[in-house]
Amino acid sequence: MTSSKQALAHSASADAAPGDQPGAAGRAHGRGTPPPPGPDSWRRRLYRWDMKASPYAFIAPFFIVFGAFSLVPLLYTAWYSLHNVQLADLDGQTWTGLDNYQNLLSSDFFWNALGNTFTIGVISTVPQLLMAIGLAHLLNYKLRGSTVWRVVMLTPYATSVAAATLVFVLLYSWDGGMINWLLEFVGIDPVNWRESDWGSQFAVSSIVIWRWTGYNALIYLAAMQAIPADLYESAAIDGANRWQQFLHVTIPQLRPTILFTVVVSTIGATQLFGEPLLFGGVSGSKGGSGHQYQTLGLYMYDQGWIIGNLGKASAIAWSMFLILLIVAVIQLLVSRRLRKSQ
Amino acid sequence: MSTSELTAPQTSKAPKAPKPRRERPRVMGAGKQLHAGPLTYVVLSVFALVSLAPLVWTAIAASRTDRRLAETPPPLWFGGNLFKNMDRAWEEAGLGKAMFNTTFVAGTITISTVLFATLAGFAFAKLRFRFSGLLLMLTIGTMMIPPQLAVVPLYLWMADLGWSNQLQTVILPTLCTAFGTFFMRQYLLQALPTELIEAARVDGASSLRVVWHVVFPAARPAMAVLGLLTFVFAWNDFLWPIIALNQENPTVQVALNSLGTGYVPDQAVIMAGALLGTLPLLIAFLLFGKQIVGGIMQGAVKG
């Protein structure tokens, strides 16, 4: 703050020079609006132009990047999804109407991928967010070394999808894998994490859970710290114990944050890609020998860049977006209904 | 004379602004800030163990041999092959080149995102202009769009431009992010007193001058945090780099992907690669963990 004070003082003295007519600045002060110092009309015009145009100039870089690399491509993706576009023959694009979409709707692999995306999304998001709330509750106590605890919980977030998945592949390996070895200790038969249906989906989900629980816990923690203390005090006066306070004060106060994390996690789950890709190793884009963990993101990559049908990949991308929008609308409606009923 | 009269009351107000923000958690959380019991520490330790164990085990596995990793029980302590495996990952899997490339890519993206996001965040937080509300909604809405919706046309254009496998293909689309813009807007909304801007305006400062002398100094802490978050994000970006680049000119994630899909079928080398590719971010967390945690929590409260 001190540096900005100095900077302002500096800029003030530097800028006083052009408006060196004593009356100008005084008038400005009196009226409370900031007209330009100096009598020159071009200067005034320049000032007014600056005031009008600079906000747009400041937001322009973001919107140029967004327009060029998100919005226009998004529309082109819709266009390509109505064409037959092959990676091997990029110049031979032909209009096919809704063929790509019809193709998807009649494809078992598409429905399989959609189902897998949903299942993996639920078993990665629900436990993750529940654990994150619990973890945030614990981090909200007065702790020794509270910063250290928080940083430790966030370290998985520093690990990239690729690095984390490579490690988990080894941890989950059939023989010599740490997890099967630990299971054997407690007397559970080893699980074929790569080949079995639920086992591989659980394994892929666990990578997501590992990477994101601490991050979401910090988001909940921030919201918990903003809950006014008197809410807890009045609950305590009413005879609510700690668990009841958590249930009837903390959770309702966290509702907007919970909605936020649910929406963000849904967006992440819908486009899940890196974890299943690397979990599958050499044939990763298939999502396992029986496509048991092929998600929509993976299916799109497989169709587009392994099989080489970019038109179909575009149709998958747009289907993904539409599904995401539908889910988001449902979530908003449910949360509104919940708010009304309370 | 008049200028000093004008600035004096404003500058004395300035240091007051951040104060309530800093005190808020302490005051508001006071009723809830119970001392943790031993059980809390036990449960937290379990969470901490689960968070850290895979990373520690990566280092253990990276110091062993491929054959040892296939045996039961798995190794629980370090072996003597760490530097040999790291050397192979660095040379054979091209991780050395990948680290250099990623540093350049993530560095460029970080500088440009912080700069542009601060400008846009300032405009959304403090300037009045037509459609500002609508444009802000649009900015937030763009965060919902999965990157999958852009990659097919981007891939075709980059191929047309003859840019396949060149680093600008992964730099350009991320030069500014919606998250960064929103993050800076939320910070500047309360950390930058409007009087400070008005005072500079009264003194006839142009918008660029205001940005340079008022906005940047006030935004500096948030810019540093956004820089860290952006660097982590850019270092770990996966989908588009996998499509746009290959093993000839990889980023770290592309090189790790090649490792995982059988480029070097040696688990110990793969683990050494995963460790090397994560090490820079782990060091950053060690040095700036507090700031990164603060940034995520700060972005969240208002998000």
Residue B146: inside a domain? yes
Enumerate residues 6+ apart whose C-beta is below 8 A from B297.
Answer: A218, A219, A221, A222
A57, A301, B123, B133, B197 from B218: Cα distances, Å: 20, 44, 14, 23, 11
pLDDT value of position B66: 82
Instruction: Name the residue with higher pLDDT: B14 or A61.
Output: A61
Encode pLDDT of A42-51 as tens digits: 878 888 888 8
A203, A282, B89, B228, B261 from B267: Cα distances, Å: 19, 14, 11, 31, 11
Encode pLDDT of A257-270 as tens digits: 998 899 889 999 99
Please indicate whether, in this complex, the C-beta atoms of B176 and A65 are within 8 angstroms of each other: yes
Q: What does the mean pLDDT of chain B come to?
A: 84
Count the alpha carbons within 13 Å of B21 in the hemisphere toward its beta carbon. Answer: 15
Q: Assign A59 a pLDDT band (cuts: 50, 70, 90).
A: very high
pLDDT value of position A16: 38
Q: Is the pLDDT of residue B54 over 70?
A: yes
b/e sequence B87-119, b meaning 16+ C-beta within 10 Å: ebbbeebbbebbbebbeebbebbbebbbbbbbb
**Nearest CB to B297 within list A218, A282, A320:** A218
Residue B87: inside a domain? no
Encode pLDDT of B142-181 as tens digits: 888 999 999 999 999 998 898 988 999 999 999 999 999 9
Q: Assign B33 a pLDDT band (cuts: 50, 70, 90).
A: low
The nearest alpha carbon in chain B to A308 belongs to B152
Please indicate whether, in this complex, the C-beta atoms of B153 and A160 are within 8 angstroms of each other: no
DSSP classification of residue A142:
B
Q: Is the pLDDT of residue B12 over 50?
A: no
Q: What does the mean pLDDT of chain A come to?
A: 85
Residue B34: inside a domain? no
- Indicate which of B40, B43, B47, B169 best probes the interface with A, i.e. most A CBs within 10 Å of its own CB: B47
Instruction: Name the residue with higher pLDDT: B18 or B274.
Output: B274
The Cα–Cα gap between B204 and A68 comes to: 36
Mean local confidence (pLDDT), B275-291: 93
At the second CATH level, the architecture of A107-341 is: Orthogonal Bundle (1.10)
Q: Is the pLDDT of residue B7 over 60?
A: no
**Burial bucket for residue B39 (CB in 10 Å: 0-12, 13-18, 19+):** exposed
- With residues binned 3-state (H G I as helix, E B as strand, rest as coil), the percentages for chain A, rounded to 5, are 75, 5, 20
Residue B130: inside a domain? yes
**Residue A173 backbone dihedrals phi, psi, to 5 degrees:** -65, 155
Q: Is the pLDDT of residue B13 over 90?
A: no
Range(s) of the domain holding residue B185: 96-258+274-302
Q: What percent of chain B has pLDDT over 90?
A: 54
Please indicate whether, in this complex, the C-beta atoms of B173 and A51 are within 8 angstroms of each other: no
pLDDT value of position B91: 86
The domain total for chain B is 1
Cβ-Cβ contacts under 8 Å, B124 against chain A: 59
pLDDT value of position A171: 92
Please indicate whether, in this complex, the C-beta atoms of A28 and B43 are within 8 angstroms of each other: no
pLDDT value of position A322: 94
**Nearest CB to B14 within list A5, A15, A63:** A5
Q: Assign A35 a pLDDT band (cuts: 50, 70, 90).
A: low
Q: Is the pLDDT of residue A65 over 90?
A: yes
Residue B235: inside a domain? yes
The Cα–Cα gap between A86 and A20 comes to: 69
Asked if the C-beta of B116 comes within 8 angstroms of chain A's C-beta atoms, the answer is: yes
- Whose structure tokens read 């200067």? A43
> Considering only A173-187, B104-118, B280-294, which range has the smallest mean pLDDT?
A173-187
Residue B288: inside a domain? yes
- Whose structure tokens read 């884009």? A285
Q: Is the pLDDT of residue A7 over 50?
A: no
pLDDT value of position A14: 38
The nearest alpha carbon in chain A to B236 belongs to A160
Could you tell me if residue A38 is left (phi over 0), alpha (psi between -120 and 50 degrees) or otherwise beta? Answer: left
Q: Is the pLDDT of residue A341 over 90?
A: no
Nearest-Cα distance to chain B for A341, in Å, is: 24
Residue B9: inside a domain? no
Q: Is the pLDDT of residue B18 over 80?
A: no
Residue B79: inside a domain? no
The Cα–Cα gap between A51 and A65 comes to: 23
Q: What percent of chain A has pLDDT over 70?
A: 88
- Looking up residue B170, the CATH number of its domain turns out to be 1.10.3720.10
- Whose structure tokens read 């400008």? B119
The Cα–Cα gap between B88 and A225 comes to: 48
Encode pLDDT of B181-227 as tens digits: 999 998 999 889 888 888 888 888 888 889 999 999 999 999 999 99
Q: Which of A251, A257, A137, A130 is nearest to B301 (CA)?
A: A257
Q: Would you list the DSSP string of B226-292?
A: HHHHHHHHHHH--HHHHHH--TTS--HHHHHHHHHTTSS--HHHHHHHHHHHHHHHHHHHHHHHHHH
